[in-house]
Structure 1
Amino acid sequence: MNIGERVKHLREERGWSQKELAQKMKINNSVLNRIENNKRVLTDSEIIILAKLFQISTDDLLGLEPKQRIKEENKLYDITINKEELHLLKDYLDFIRYKKKN
């Protein structure tokens, strides 16, 4: 899903029309239409405004890897890791569990 599709999806999830979201963003409705159709790139400030309006992180808005929760000794750490790092971490944990059994 590209950024325009994500904006449209988040807008529709909240039941907002393009006009309503455009007003909240303080931009013209036609500008929002172009954003949702990927004919216009979001500015940095628009990304921040949208993240605040949708109450999500800018990473989530941009479609970056979701935060993974890692539990260590009853403590939760919020970290962002990519898929390759996640696979390496799982392999490492499997190895540690195997070593503890043997």
Structure 2
Amino acid sequence: MILTIGERIKILRDRKQVTQESFAKSVGRSLSIVCRVETNDRELTYSEIFVWAKALGVEPESLILNTIPGCDQRSPRQVCNNHG
């Protein structure tokens, strides 16, 4: 199962125990944009991927390639949610 970028962002943000509002401020975007990205109603631009990854403390590849550290790629939703 492959996670969307929005799902990966939510998992990583939850792991850091950061609210959507706080995260929005850290990436210079509105709360509504963060919500829309996490629910896959808005895609990130290439440059946003780098900014958001940095704010989450991961490499951009973790958002693009479905390589979240600590997630079992065979069943990512279950394993990743247990880590969050």
Give me the TM-score of the superposition, normalised by structure 2.
0.72
Q: Post-superposition shift, 1:62? A: 1.2
Distance 1:30 1:65 in 2: 26
Residue segments in structure 1 that go unaligned for 5+ positions in a row: 67-102
Aligned residue-pair number: 66
User: Are the structure 2 counterparts of residues 12 and 65 from structure 1 closer, same or farther at C-alpha, using a change threshold of 3 Å?
Assistant: closer
By how many angstroms is 1:64 displaced? 4.6
Provide the alpha-carbon RMSD of the alignment: 1.5
Deviant stretches of 4+, over 2 Å:
63-66
Taking the aligned partners of 1:17 and 1:55, their CA distance within structure 2 comes to 15
Could you say which structure has the greater relative contact order, defined with CA pairs below 8 angstroms and 6 or more residues apart?
A: 2
Bigger share in strand: 1
Q: Which secondary structure state, in structure 2, belongs to the residue aligned with residue 15 of structure 1?
A: coil
Identity of aligned residues (%): 33
TM-superposed deviation, 1:26: 0.6
TM alignment of 1:1-102, pairs within 5 A: 1-64=3-66
Gaps of 5+ in 2: 69-84
CA distance in 1, matches of 2:50, 2:21: 19
In our comparison, the structure showing a higher alpha carbon Rg is 1
Which one is further off, 47-56 or 26-35? 47-56
